Amino acid sequence: MRSIGGLLAFLGIFAIVLSAVGRVPSYLFWIYNWGEAVAWGIKIGLIVVGGAMYLLGYDSDEQGDDE
């Protein structure tokens, strides 16, 4: 879970940085069909959901050896 969450958060931050310099990633170009506000919402949503998945996720190593 943590690796997927980290990847989603990274992609959201990466998309914001690239859009700030005028380069839209091809995998996110479709979100601009609904307008700039929706595109920002999706990018921020990627960061929030990814961050939550990263923070709430767990690794099997962290659970301990209770078996």
Q: What is the pLDDT of residues 46-67, one digit of tens each?
A: 999 999 999 998 765 456 545 5
pTM of the model: 0.78
pLDDT digits (tens, 9 = 90+) for 30-45: 888 999 999 999 999 9
Span 1-14, average pLDDT: 91
* 3-state helix/strand/coil string of the chain: CHHHHHHHHHHHHHHHHHHHCCCCCHHHHHHHHHCHHHHHHHHHHHHHHHHHHHHHCCCCCCCCCCC
Place of tokens 């700039």: 36
pLDDT digits (tens, 9 = 90+) for 8-19: 999 999 999 988
- Cα 60 → chain centroid: 22
What is the reported pLDDT for 66? Answer: 52
